[in-house]
Amino acid sequence: MTLNNNIEFKGTKDGLIIHLNESCEYEKLKEQLIEKLEHAKNFFIGAQIARIEGKSLTSNEESEIIDLINNRFGMIMVERTEPLEKTTACSTKEVFMGLDEGVTRFVKSTLRSGKKIEFKGNVVVMGDVNPGAEIVAYGNIVIMGALRGIAHAGANGNSNAFVSALRLQPTQLRIGKFIARAPDNSSYNPKYPEIAFIRDEMILIEPYLTKNR
C-alpha cells in the first residue's frame, strides 16, 4: 500500500505524535488518517496525542483534524499545535539557545515565492531565497546564495542570532524582535557576502570577510 508513508505515528512520553507528509494534499491526508484510525479503532481509544507535525495546516484544517481525533475516535489532544510566534514576547528560558551548537536544518534547494520554512533551530539554505519566500528560524540563518526574500533569525526572541548570505538583498530582515526593511530606491548591491546581526538595538549589516575574524 502506498498510503502508509504519508501518516506516521510516533510514541513519546508526552503522547503520540502524528506526522503528516508535507508533500501530500490535505484532503488525501485526512482520508488516509481516517482510514488508518478506523483500522485500529480500539487501539487508539483514549490515546493521548501530543501534537501534529509535518505539513503546515491552515487553522480550519487543523481544527478539523483535532475535532476528528477528539470526537470521532475518542482520543485526547493534549496540546494544541501552535505555529511559531510571529512577534516575540517569550520568556528567556524558551529562547532557542543552540546558536553555537544546535539542531540545524539544511534546505538543499532554492526557495521560490510562496515557500515558507519554519524551524526551531538554525537554517542553512543551499540556494537562493527569492522575493516572496520566507524563512523563520529560532536560530541563525545562513544562505549559500542570494537572500532576496524575508528572513527572521532568532524568531523566538534571541537577538544574538545572525543572518548571512552570499548576496544579502532581503526585502525585509528580522532578528529577534527587530525589523529592518530594504531602502526604497536602493542601487547598492555589493557583490560580496554580508552578515547581519544586532548591535546597539539595531540591525547592522557588514561585509563578511574572513581575515577580520
Partner 1 sequence: MGEVIVITSGKGGVGKTTTTANIGASLAMLGKKVAVLDADIGLRNLDVVLGLENRIVYDLVDVVEGVCRLKQGLIRDKRFEGLYLLPAAQTKDKSAVTPKQMQDLCKELKKIYDYVLVDCPAGIEQGFKNAIAGADRAIVVTTPEISAVRDADRIVGLLEAAELNSPMLIINRIRIQMVKKGDMMNIEDMTDILAIDLLGVVPDDEYIVISTNKGEPAARDEKSLAGQAFRNIAKRIMGENVPIMDLDIQEGFMVKIAKLFGLK
Residue ranges in contact with partner 1 by CB under 8 A: 58-60, 86, 113-116, 131-132, 134, 171-172, 179, 181-182, 184
Task: Please tell me whether residue 212 adopts helix, strand or coil conformation.
Answer: helix
Beta bridge partners of 127: none
For the bound state, the minimum distance from the C-beta of residue 134 to partner 1, rounded and expressed in Å, comes to: 6
Burial class of residue 87, CB neighbours in 10 A (0-12, 13-18, 19+):
exposed
- By beta-carbon proximity to partner 1, the closer residue of 69 and 152 is 152
Grid cell listed for 164: 548571512
- By beta-carbon proximity to partner 1, the closer residue of 8 and 61 is 61
- By beta-carbon proximity to partner 1, the closer residue of 189 and 212 is 189
For the bound state, the minimum distance from the C-beta of residue 61 to partner 1, rounded and expressed in Å, comes to: 8
For the bound state, the minimum distance from the C-beta of residue 171 to partner 1, rounded and expressed in Å, comes to: 5
For the bound state, the minimum distance from the C-beta of residue 191 to partner 1, rounded and expressed in Å, comes to: 21
Task: Please tell me whether residue 208 adopts helix, strand or coil conformation.
Answer: coil
Sequence-distant (6+) residues with CB within 8 A of 111 are 117, 125, 127, 128, 129, 130, 133, 135, 149
- By beta-carbon proximity to partner 1, the closer residue of 4 and 186 is 186
For the bound state, the minimum distance from the C-beta of residue 166 to partner 1, rounded and expressed in Å, comes to: 20
- By beta-carbon proximity to partner 1, the closer residue of 183 and 199 is 183
Grid cell listed for 180: 529592518
- Residue 45 backbone dihedrals phi, psi, to 5 degrees: -60, 130
